[in-house]
Amino acid sequence: MEQNHQYLFLDFEFTMPETKGYPKGFYPEIIEIGLASMVNNEINSTFSSHVQPIKFPILTERCKSFLSIQQHQVDHGITLESLVNILHSYEKDYPTTIITWGNMDMKVLRHTCQKANLSFPFKGRMLDLSMEYKRFFGDQNQTGLWKAVQEYGKEGTGKHHCALDDAITTLNIFKLVENDKRYLSPHAPTTIGDRIDFSKVLNKFAL
């Protein structure tokens, strides 16, 4: 991990249709954000909030049941515009890598920004940690977030599908993978000069 570099771990929860194709023209919108900023291997700050959906403001029963998010919570959440401004502010102090588990978070953020005529908030490098995990361990399929942390013999933070808990769980997996990479990185080969003290050899022949 780079020093004085921000690793920004993000997780969003989205609206869900009741059934396939219902409501008509449905697309997912962000209704919860969880964010954890890490600088120099320490959590620098966290942020979480519910977010008001625009196109389909009424949550479906399926969405409320699956995510345990209620209508009054999103009704009192921040606006999408406020969310974009908050995300944009995180790149002001450090060069930043934005890290998510899977590519859906950034796809939905980009799509909802386009629909609302808002600028996409990030310019930094983006990393899909689930793909890094897949490549690192040679898995054929992408692994779910909590299954991945359990494969390390750990447990996820808090509750799955709570955006902040999932963001912090992603941070913890990132640290575990980076630590494994450090141990597996090839070391410089030992030279014969490292194994033999030539000054002693030369002194022996000088006698």
**What CATH number is attached to the domain comprising 52?**
3.30.420.10
With beta carbons less than 8 A apart as the criterion, state whether 15 and 43 touch.
no
Structural domain includes residue 68:
yes
User: CA 30, CA 4: separation in Å to the nearest integer?
Assistant: 30
Residue from 5, 88, 111, 161 carrying the catalytic annotation: 161
Structural domain includes residue 195:
no
Active site residue 13: yes
pLDDT for 200: 53
Structural domain includes residue 143:
yes
Structural domain includes residue 175:
yes
User: CA 115, CA 199: separation in Å to the nearest integer?
Assistant: 73
User: CA 17, CA 28: separation in Å to the nearest integer?
Assistant: 8
pLDDT for 190: 44
By residue range, what is the domain housing residue 127?
Answer: 6-187
Structural domain includes residue 1:
no
With beta carbons less than 8 A apart as the criterion, state whether 128 and 143 touch.
no
Given a cut of 70, the residues of the chain with pLDDT beneath it are 21, 139-141, 146, 155-158, 183-207
Structural domain includes residue 124:
yes
pLDDT for 85: 97
Question: What's the domain count of the chain?
Answer: 1
Query: What pTM does this model have?
Result: 0.83
Residue from 13, 29, 32, 50 carrying the catalytic annotation: 13
Active site residue 111: no
